[in-house]
């Protein structure tokens, strides 16, 4: 190990000790996130360590009077670290801040259409990942992304994972469903598999089929990538049964199987 490598390692160990998440706080956070309850202890420990380092590096701030407490911070960090558990925290080094709202929020983002007319988004949102900026989340939706769903019809969802996957997607430009790929996946394989699954899924939704994957995935290729990633982590059996090839591809991309 080089001197710099050894120093980095020392910094990590120091942070893990100095800023450790207390046992009861971690237990409460895991209890609030049912999809993590069945993870093996070793992997949960890795997630806990990464959540500590995430919280050392990121600011989690409240908006519209929302008071951020340690429980909020840990619940956000634990979920945010799920997609990068094997890839590493560096994947998030292009932003510093997560903003929590007390409920759904209006983004107010302005965008220009093909005729040069500027529009402003005025839809209520649960989450938003801003290119070159923060991730914005509605706290109640970040805690329970299935709230408002109807009983048994609740779909596997996770708004925190969704927005952080958009951030991964934005590392090489605009979110387009084509993130920076590891050497084990050729761009051709990714493009073919994602495009064919996206087209198949969109056709199923257009035909009125009730899918087990959130139909919002049919919105666009980047939304497809974000939604199938949610499904991959929260309800892997659903993705495995509908699109096994995509489940295998995401396992290669995220470098582990939940
Ligand atoms: Zn999205």
Cα of 47 vs centre of ligand 1, distance in Å, is 24
Return d(Cα 180, Cα 134) in angstroms, integer. Answer: 20
The CATH-assigned architecture of domain 1-149 is Orthogonal Bundle (1.10)
Cα of 41 vs centre of ligand 1, distance in Å, is 30
Cα 47 to Cα 15, 21, 232: the distances in Å are 15, 11, 17
Cα of 228 vs centre of ligand 1, distance in Å, is 11
Tokens representing 169 are 């997607």
Cα of 7 vs centre of ligand 1, distance in Å, is 38
Cα of 60 vs centre of ligand 1, distance in Å, is 20
- Given this model, what pLDDT does residue 222 score? 97
- Given this model, what pLDDT does residue 45 score? 97
Cα of 10 vs centre of ligand 1, distance in Å, is 37
- Given this model, what pLDDT does residue 99 score? 96
Question: For the whole prediction, is pTM greater than 0.85?
Answer: yes
Cα of 144 vs centre of ligand 1, distance in Å, is 17
Cα of 189 vs centre of ligand 1, distance in Å, is 23
For the chain, what are the domain ranges? 1-149, 176-258
- Given this model, what pLDDT does residue 195 score? 97
What parts of the chain have a pLDDT lower than 70? 108-109, 111, 146-154
Yes or no: domain 176-258 corresponds to CATH 3.40.50.300: no
Cα of 176 vs centre of ligand 1, distance in Å, is 11
Backbone phi and psi for residue 207, each to the nearest 5 degrees, phi listed first: -80, 0
């Amino acid at each position: 190990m080089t001197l710099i490598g050894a120093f980095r390692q020392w910094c990590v160990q120091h942070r893990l000790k100095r800023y450790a998440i207390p046992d009861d706080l971690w237990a409460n956070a895991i209890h609030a996130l049912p999809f993590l309850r069945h993870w093996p202890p070793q992997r949960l420990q890795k997630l806990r360590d990464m959540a500590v380092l995430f919280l050392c590096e990121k600011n989690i701030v409240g908006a519209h009077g929302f008071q951020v407490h340690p429980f909020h911070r840990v619940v956000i960090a634990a979920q945010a670290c799920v997609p990068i558990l094997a890839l590493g925290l560096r994947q998030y080094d292009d932003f510093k801040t997560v903003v929590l709202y007390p409920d759904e929020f209006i983004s107010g983002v302005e965008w220009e259409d093909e005729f040069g007319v500027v529009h402003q988004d005025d839809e209520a949102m649960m989450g938003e990942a801003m290119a070159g900026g923060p991730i914005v989340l509605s706290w109640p939706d970040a805690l329970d992304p299935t709230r408002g769903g109807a009983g048994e019809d609740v779909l596997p969802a996770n708004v925190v994972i969704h927005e952080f996957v958009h951030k991964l997607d934005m590392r090489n430009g605009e979110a387009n469903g084509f993130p920076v790929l590891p050497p084990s996946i050729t761009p051709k394989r990714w493009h073919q598999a994602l495009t064919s699954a996206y087209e198949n899924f969109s056709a199923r939704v257009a035909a009125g089929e009730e899918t087990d994957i959130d139909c919002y995935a049919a919105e666009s290729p980047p939304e497809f990538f974000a939604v199938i990633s949610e499904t991959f982590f929260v309800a892997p059996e659903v993705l495995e049964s509908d699109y096994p090839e995509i489940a295998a591809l995401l396992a290669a991309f995220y470098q582990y199987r939940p």
